Amino acid sequence: MTSAARRAHEALEPFHLLAYFNPGLQAAQADTRLDPHAFYVGARGAPLGPCAGSVVASAFFNFSPALIGTAWASACAVGLDAVVDRRNAMLGEQFHAILGDLGEQPAIADLAARYGALAASLPLNGRALAAAWASAAIPDEPIVALWHNIAVLREWRGDNHIAALVVHGLDGIDARTFHESQLLDPGIRRVTLGKRMSMLTRGWCDDDWELSVDRLVERGLAERTGPNESGIAHRLTPDGAERYDDIEAMTDALGESVWTTSGVDSLLEATHPLVKAVIDAGIVPGTRTK
C-alpha cells in the first residue's frame, strides 16, 4: 500500500517542478545574466543566504560541489534577492498562462494559507534546506505563495531523503548512480534522468560516474551490464534492490505523520485541478504535450 507521504509527493511534484521546467526560464536567465545552472542554484539556494558554496553543495547533496561553487558565486554576485524576485515573477507569468481564470480564484489564497499552516507544523531539526525555506519571505501573489509553501514541504521531504541516503552509506554521486541503476524488474516505472542528463545537470564527469559505479559494485549493490537506452550500464543486485526499497521506505516514514493529519486529503483534492492543469500543459518532464 502506498504511504500517505508518497501519495502527497507524487500529487504535488508536477506543480513544484514548473519552477525548473517552463518556457520563461530563458528570459529569466537572460535578465539576470545567469546561465541555467547559476539561476537554478541561486533560486533554490537563496533562502540559505550568502553562505559558502560548500554549504549549498551539502544541502543539494547529489550535485558536484565544483558546479555548485561556481554557480553559487555567480548568483551571489548578481544578488540572491534579485534572482528570487525574477524567479517569482516568472512563476506568476507561467502559472497564469497555464491556469487562466483558475489561477485567479479567491480559493488560491486559502490553499496557500492551508499549505503554509502545514509547512509551519514541520519539525525542522536536521533539515537545513527546509528550515531556510520555511524562514524565507512568502511572495505576495497568492499563486506564487502557494508554490512557495509547497516548496517548503518538498524541500523537507528532500532533507529526509538525504538523511536516509546518509544512513545507508551513500554520498552525493553514489546516490545519483544508485538511483539511475537498471532495476531487476524492468516493468517497474520510475522517474530517472539517464547518464547523460544526470552528468550534465549535476556537474559530474564520466570518470566520476564510473568510479561511483565501481563503488556500488564493490559493495554488492550493483553489477555491470550492457547499457540501456538511457546509457545506464549497471543494474541493482538483489541486495541493492533491497537497499533501494529501504531508503524509499525510510524517506516516506520520516514524513508520514505530516500527511496523515486531519484535512490533508481534502487539501490535496482541492489542489488537484491546479496540478492537472500543469500536467496537461505538457511542460514538466514526463507529462504529455498538447
DSSP letters spanning 43-83: HHHGGG-S--HHHHHHHH-SS-HHHHHHHHHHHHHH-HHHH
Taking only the tens place, the pLDDT of each residue in 151-192 is 999 999 999 999 999 999 999 999 999 999 999 887 787 888
Element (DSSP H or E) covering residue 280: helix 264-281
Question: Is the pLDDT score of 289 beyond 60?
Answer: no
Beta bridge partners of 223: 235
Task: Let me know the angle formed at the C-alpha of 19 by 17 and 22, rounded to the nearest 5 degrees.
Answer: 95
Q: Has residue 290 got a pLDDT over 50? A: no
Sign for the CA dihedral angle at 218, 220, 221, 227 comes to positive
DSSP string, 146-193: HHHHHHHHHHHHHHHHHHHHHHTT--HHHHHHHHHSBPSSTT------
Residue extent(s) of CATH 1.10.10 domains in the chain = 172-236
Q: How buried is 222 (Cβ within 10 angstroms: 0-12 exposed, 13-18 middle, 19+ buried)?
A: buried
* Residues forming a β-bridge with 234: 224
Confidence of residue 51 (pLDDT cuts 50, 70, 90): very high
pLDDT in tens, 230-279: 899 999 999 999 999 999 999 999 999 999 999 999 999 999 999 999 99
* 29: pLDDT strictly greater than 50: yes
Please give the class, per CATH, of domain 172-236: mainly alpha
Give the residue ranges of DSSP H helices in 168-263: 172-180, 195-202, 206-218, 238-259
What is the Cα Rg of the chain in Å? 19
pLDDT greater than 60 at residue 24 = yes
79: left (phi over 0), alpha (psi -120 to 50) or beta: left
- The reported pTM is 0.95
- pLDDT-derived band at 146, boundaries 50, 70, 90: very high
Query: Residue 141, SS3?
Result: coil
Residue 286 has pLDDT above 80, yes or no: no
